[in-house]
């Protein structure tokens, strides 16, 4: 009888473990498909479904700037062909800016900014991040792998123009991407960083979003999702940690955020600014601006601050 109960308890325990692991796999798999996988409608190109729920509804694609342009491409370290557009100002220049779009977008969302930089005499590169626009890739990694790709884009600029001095300017996930890249010591030609609406790290951001928008247990779900992200993409989404990156980066950095950002809390900018080890750092909080909308809400203040900052650090 004792042996029977031991077998029964062992069987029940094993079944419980199997059920828990199965549930965790299902939850993690659903999260990755919902939040990180593009093309779920069968086209292969549409943003992850979560973008429709949480993406900024006011961000709009822009017309292509009326400047000389050429298509650029690179290959990521994991073999993806990534696309971008290089725009040239009217007169030659060794000042460059890489404009990095946010989650669910593509390079066309940065073309309004591109026109402004071009009028200020900058060479402009607008890449499509992996799993976005015309670039290859199935999964967004919230900055982890995108930041490695950004380093490769900067290397291509340096190969094209060895005298080039590069500024990075990203919005939302694009801002997180550039902050992660800024800690890479090989970016010797990058002279300044303008970050707009970055999260401190992807895990904290997602935890905050879950708590605000769902009654489900956030931490167990995110644990399963983090593991599944590693299985699917090769990296944990929790490795997208700009807060740690700015502690290592020495690059001059301008931190910008909208005062009424309901997606990425404004105090995340304060945390990033306070953690930054840069000897030349500034911050701008734009009144009444929502997520990634500071440059729309007060364009004059936004770009006067940006170019005053860059003029101190570029050619």
pLDDT at residue 215, as a whole number: 64
Query: Domain end: 238, 265, 286, which one?
Result: 238
pLDDT at residue 49, as a whole number: 86
d(C-alpha 27, C-alpha 131), whole Å: 22
pLDDT at residue 42, as a whole number: 64
Question: Do 131 and 225 share a domain, yes or no?
Answer: no
Q: How many domains does the chain have?
A: 2
The string of pLDDT tens digits covering residues 8-65 is 455 554 544 444 445 445 567 888 888 899 976 666 678 888 887 665 555 566 789 9
Question: Do 84 and 120 share a domain, yes or no?
Answer: yes
As a whole number, the mean pLDDT across the chain is 88
Question: Do 214 and 306 share a domain, yes or no?
Answer: no
Tell me the three state secondary structure of residue 95: strand
pLDDT at residue 16, as a whole number: 47
Does residue 54 lie within any of the structural domains?
no
For residue 267, the enclosing domain spans: 62-201+240-313
Question: Do 186 and 103 share a domain, yes or no?
Answer: yes
Give just the sign of the alpha carbon dihedral 24, 105, 122, 287. Answer: negative
- Whether the pLDDT of residue 229 is over 50: the answer is yes
pLDDT at residue 29, as a whole number: 81
DSSP-derived pairing of the beta strands 95-100 and 123-127: parallel
d(C-alpha 114, C-alpha 112), whole Å: 5
pLDDT at residue 290, as a whole number: 94
285 CB-contact burial (10 Å; exposed 0-12 / middle 13-18 / buried 19+): middle
pLDDT at residue 19, as a whole number: 44
Query: Domain end: 213, 238, 263, which one?
Result: 238
19 or 253, which is more confident: 253
Does residue 232 lie within any of the structural domains?
yes
Cα dist from 263 to 152, 210, 225, whole Å:
29, 11, 20
Check which CATH number belongs to the domain holding 120 and give it. 3.40.50.1820
d(C-alpha 212, C-alpha 313), whole Å: 39
Question: Do 218 and 245 share a domain, yes or no?
Answer: no
- Whether the pLDDT of residue 289 is over 50: the answer is yes
The reported pTM is 0.90
Q: Which residue has the tokens 């199965």?
A: 22
DSSP-derived pairing of the beta strands 253-258 and 281-286: parallel
pLDDT at residue 12, as a whole number: 56
Question: Do 266 and 120 share a domain, yes or no?
Answer: yes
Question: Do 194 and 178 share a domain, yes or no?
Answer: yes
Question: Do 131 and 265 share a domain, yes or no?
Answer: yes
The string of pLDDT tens digits covering residues 187-205 is 989 999 999 999 999 999 9
Which of 228, 227, 233, 208 is closest to 218 using CA atoms?
208
- In the chain, % of residues over pLDDT 90: 70
Question: Do 186 and 130 share a domain, yes or no?
Answer: yes
54 or 158, which is more confident: 158
State phi, psi for 265 to the nearest 5 degrees. Answer: -55, 135
Q: In what order do the strands lie in the sheet with 190-196?
A: 68-75, 81-88, 123-127, 95-100, 165-171, 190-196, 253-258, 281-286
Mean pLDDT (whole number) for 62-77: 93
């Amino acid at each position: 009888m004792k042996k029977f109960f031991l077998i029964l308890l062992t069987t029940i325990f094993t079944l419980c473990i199997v059920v828990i692991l199965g549930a965790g796999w299902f939850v993690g798999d659903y999260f990755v498909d919902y939040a990180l996988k593009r093309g779920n409608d069968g086209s292969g190109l549409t943003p992850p479904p979560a973008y429709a729920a949480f993406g900024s509804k006011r961000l709009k694609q822009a017309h292509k700037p009326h400047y000389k342009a050429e298509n650029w491409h690179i290959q990521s370290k994991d073999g993806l062909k990534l696309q971008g557009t290089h725009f040239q100002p009217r007169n030659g220049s060794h000042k460059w800016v890489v404009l990095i779009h946010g989650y669910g977008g593509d390079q066309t969302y940065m073309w309004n900014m591109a026109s402004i930089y071009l009028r200020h005499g900058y060479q402009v590169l607008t890449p499509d991040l992996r799993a976005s626009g015309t670039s290859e890739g199935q999964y967004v990694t919230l900055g982890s792998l995108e930041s490695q790709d950004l380093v490769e884009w900067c290397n291509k600029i340096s190969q094209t123009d060895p005298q080039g001095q590069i500024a990075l300017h990203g919005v939302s996930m694009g801002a997180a991407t550039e902050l992660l890249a800024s800690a890479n010591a090989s970016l010797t030609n990058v002279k300044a960083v303008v970050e707009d609406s970055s999260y401190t790290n992807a895990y904290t951001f997602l935890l905050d979003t879950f708590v605000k928008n769902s009654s489900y247990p956030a931490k167990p779900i995110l644990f399963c999702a983090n593991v599944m992200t590693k299985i699917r993409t090769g990296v944990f989404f929790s490795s997208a940690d700009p807060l740690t990156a700015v502690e290592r980066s020495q690059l001059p950095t301008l931190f910008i955020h909208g005062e009424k950002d309901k997606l990425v809390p404004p105090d995340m900018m304060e945390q990033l600014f306070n953690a930054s080890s840069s000897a030349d750092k500034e911050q701008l909080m734009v009144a009444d601006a929502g997520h990634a909308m500071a440059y729309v809400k007060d364009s004059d203040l936004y770009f006067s601050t940006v170019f005053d900052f860059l003029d101190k650090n570029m050619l």
